[in-house]
Structure 1
Amino acid sequence: MATQDTEDNITACIEACEEALHACQECAAHDIRESGHGDMGACALLNLDCADICAATLNALARRSPHHGDFCALCAHVCRTCAAECAKHAGEHAHCARCQQACEACASACEQHASERHPL
């Protein structure tokens, strides 16, 4: 049974998406600058994908799109994937640790809204 979204939890999800967006952008920038120090290319590309999905999701939530649950389902999936990739580097790179935490929080917030998916 789907739960009704409240303004407070929509706002919290928007904030989580915004935090993950910025963390992913920061992580990608660091990964690109460090590209000569190991294989950070996959992490950078995933960070950029995740940042794009987070931006689209927070925009859909902000305008209260009837499709926000669909955006949230995709965002949760991509954030979980990004968090798993960043976890591989979190011990060596503080920006990966921050990104992992932000993406995990965003995924959790978005999973609450994924149940509000619009019937296609």
Structure 2
Amino acid sequence: MVVSTGSNSMRTEVIRCVAACDALVAVSEDCADACLRINGNGDVTRCFLADLDCIEVCSSTSRLLSWHMRRDGPTTVALLETCREAARASTLACEYLAGLHPGWQTCTMACRRVDDACERLLAVLR
């Protein structure tokens, strides 16, 4: 990972955010696979698509943060905000599906970690 700043606080938050995004990608892939195994309606599709969105956004965020970090990076800020939104949408979809299917294992904890990690990094950037 390349981080072009001397700030230990920023470096710590970048590492935390990349780790959270990478973990969520793995968990969301499992969650999306589980969605495919359920015979359901639009609720299953909603959860599946939210998982796929989260996978793509978190993968992009992780790659961008691994390449570089600048205080003036509007793309970085925009992607971190998008990552938070994708994680929140996935959380809502998975929690709703969990309410319909007792015992459903969701990726909501990993989504919350991404939301928190992105928020913390945004706070350092701003």
Give the greater-gyration-radius structure (CA): 2
The equivalent position to 2:121 in structure 1, one of 95, 113, 118, is 113
Tell me the amino acid that sits aligned with residue 12 of structure 2: D
Contact conserved, 1:28 with 1:43, CA < 8 A, in 2? yes
Deviation, 1:33, is 1.5
Gaps of 5+ in 1: none
RMSD: 1.9
Q: How does 1:6-45 map to 2 (within 5 A)?
A: 6-34=10-38, 36-37=39-40, 39-45=43-49
Identity among equivalent positions (%) equals: 24
Q: How does 1:50-69 map to 2 (within 5 A)?
A: 50-65=54-69, 66=73, 67-69=75-77
TM, length-normalised to structure 2: 0.78
Deviation, 1:113, is 2.5
Q: Distance in 2 between matches of 1:95 and 1:28?
A: 11
| CA distance 1:89–1:28, shift in 2 (3 Å) | same
Greater share of residues in helix? 2
The equivalent position to 2:85 in structure 1, one of 77, 99, 110, is 77
Tell me the amino acid that sits aligned with residue 78 of structure 2: D
* CA offsets 1:32-67 (integer angstroms, 9 cap, x no match): 121x14541110011001110000000011112533
Count of residues in Structure 1 that have an aligned counterpart in Structure 2 = 111
TM, length-normalised to structure 1: 0.81
Q: Distance in 2 between matches of 1:58 and 1:93?
A: 30
